[in-house]
Amino acid sequence: MSLIVSDVRKDYPTRSGPLPVLGGVSLRLEHGEAVAVMGPSGSGKSTLLHILGTLDTPTGGTVSLDGVDPFGLKPAELAAFRNRRIGFVFQDHHLLPQASVLENVLVPTFVNRSLPKAEAQAYARELLVKVGLSGRLTHRPAELSGGERQRVAVARALIHKPLLLLADEPTGNLDRTNAESVGRLLLDLHKQQNTMLVVVTHSQDLAKLFPRKLEMNDGKLT
């Protein structure tokens, strides 16, 4: 199982013509590998991550995840593929404020019912133990610290045991202590689940935890 990105390009239309954001990005990631992508604001890091997560469509090039071209799927098939195969952790946790910690982790399973309810609940509880929140299952997001909310987001991203875990500035809103804790947690759980992990970050402290680091400049990876 692998992620293969070949010559991916992304242009955005403007009044003065196409604005290139990605200028031919290629990347290969094997099962169990992790990579940190760094670079200045506007370099194309988040655009690349959104394409890998099928939240945006490339102008050119190809993406293959486990032998599947997601952009060749019909909309309903793509939504199901994204839900089951890809996990997301964003800078803002995007937790549902009215839902409990346990319910928030279970949200992806409400969309795709392929996982039996009892099995999903048991695994959600197991994940919350792993992220150190076994005593917070019934709490609402407003009752949690910033670091705790991001831990819930990590557990939610892993509920379907995705092939690919994507994180966009996952420690950007955290203080240094919580940032290091969440960064190490991401790597530890990635290793336990044997996923492929791609993290976009400005943080040198987070990037140095990764065995492989890439730099994005002017829409190209180096």
Q: How confident is the model over 50-66, as a mean pLDDT? A: 95
Q: Is the CB of residue 171 less than 8 Å from the CB of residue 179?
A: yes
Give Cβ neighbours of residue 44 (< 8 Å, ≥ 6 apart): 10, 21, 22, 25, 216, 218, 219
Q: What is the pLDDT of residue 165?
A: 95
| Parallel, antiparallel or unpaired: strands 213-217 and 196-200 | unpaired
Mean pLDDT for the stretch of residues 109-129:
86
Query: For residue 4, what pLDDT band results from cuts at 50, 70 and 90?
Result: very high
Distance, CA of 160 to CA of 110 (rounded, Å): 11
What pLDDT shows up at residue 27?
93
Burial 136-167 (b: 16+ CB within 10 A, else e): beeebbeebeebbbbbbbbbbbbbbebbbbbb
pLDDT recorded at residue 70: 96
Higher-confidence residue of 179 and 37: namely: 37
Q: Does the pLDDT at position 113 exceed 80?
A: no
pLDDT of residue 218: 81
pLDDT surpassing 90 at residue 171: no
Q: What is the pLDDT of residues 129-156, one digit of tens each?
A: 999 999 999 999 999 998 899 999 999 9
**pLDDT beyond 80 at 114:** no
Tell me: pLDDT of 36 over 80. yes
Q: Give per-residue pLDDT as tens, 75-105.
A: 999 999 999 999 999 888 789 999 999 999 9
What's residue 220's pLDDT? Answer: 84
Structure tokens at 36: 């940190």
Q: Whole-number mean pLDDT of the chain?
A: 91
Q: What is the pLDDT of residues 179-218, one digit of tens each?
A: 888 888 889 999 998 999 999 998 888 899 998 999 988 8
Whether pTM > 0.85 for this model: the answer is yes
Confidence class for position 176, pLDDT limits 50, 70, 90: confident
Query: Which pLDDT belongs to residue 39?
Result: 86
What confidence score (pLDDT) does residue 172 get? 82
Q: What are the tokens at 24?
A: 């031919």
